[in-house]
Amino acid sequence: MDSPLCSIIVPIYNSAIDLVPCLESIKRQKYENLEILLVNDGSSDSSLEICRMYARLDPRIIIIDKENSGVSGTRNIAIERATGKYLQFVDSDDYLDVNATRLMVEEMEAHQSDLLICNYCSVSRSERMQVFGFLPPDTLLDKAHFARYLMEEPASFYYGVMWNKLYRRDIIMEHDIRCNEEFTWSEDMLFNLEYIRYAETFYSMRTPVYYYVRQKKGSLSAQVSPAKIITTKASLFKYYKQLYIDLGLYEQYKLQIYAYLVAAAKDM
């Protein structure tokens, strides 16, 4: 099988305390045809120096240093710069299994899917680990079936985040899909809803290859107020509704879509 280029995008902001395990896990991937985009979002700690150290050790690493604008703008700059067939996103305080990219690309290529979504491990600071995933494992789904499963857990990290997925860059570029820089919470979910609109096939991978570290130091999600959650969900609701109208599935899933407003993620 050919080994298409995969672009791994890592937005970085004051992540020095957790950055080395993250970058080590990327550098050690068994899949070697990578470009690794480290985007420093105006960090005031030693994050940029750590990135430069790794860039000297690995020619696949590209550093983008920019003024602080938030994670959405940071990801968007990397999306514009990336050249891989596939895009993979990693948060700078999380880490990957050594086989993560290899397995994701192999499954994407084997099934010619438009989006791959994998189970992931939620890791506490005490190293306690729990695996999450809501789709039938190792299954190729069409859009209608994927939309049905999505409505069973509309607020979950599994569907909402960008880091447990592999995307086709051509779909993103053709339809000008970007992270909305007006959102400071749940911006991943909006990106995914836009991507789902244009994707036709979805593959669920059983193997958990991403390690999401909970209770992150300085985590934005830990600082989001209930009022912010409510207003953001209200904004996202209209995107959910429009997607299902466009799919011709709104009447069938109307109650579940409204339930999103009060749903809580079960997989944090």
The DSSP string of 72-96 is HHHHHHHHHH---SEEEE--TT-EE
Q: What is the pLDDT of residue 219?
A: 47
What are 177-211's pLDDT values in tens digits?
999 998 776 789 999 999 999 999 999 999 999 99
Q: What type of residue sits at position 118?
A: C
Give 19-30 pLDDT, tens digit per residue: 999 999 999 999
Q: Which of 61, 83, 99 is nearest to 4 (CA)?
A: 83
pTM: 0.93
Query: Above 60 in pLDDT, residue 220?
Result: no
The most distant pair of C-alpha atoms in the chain lies apart, rounded to whole Å, by: 55
Q: Please state which of the ranges 86-90, 237-241, 248-252 shows the lowest mean pLDDT.
A: 237-241
Q: What is the pLDDT of residues 52-111, one digit of tens each?
A: 999 999 999 999 999 999 999 999 999 999 999 999 999 999 999 999 999 999 999 999
Q: Which band of pLDDT confidence, cut at 50, 70 and 90, is reported for residue 215?
A: low
What pLDDT score was predicted for residue 217?
44
Q: Please determine, for residue 218, whether its predicted confidence score (pLDDT) is greater than 60.
A: no
Give the pLDDT confidence score for residue 225 in this predicted structure.
65
Q: Quick one: pLDDT at residue 260?
A: 80
CB contact set of 135 (below 8 Å; sequence gap of 6+): 117, 141, 146, 149, 158, 202, 204
Least confident of 45-49, 105-109, 163-167, 248-252: 248-252
Q: For position 239, what pLDDT does the model report?
A: 87
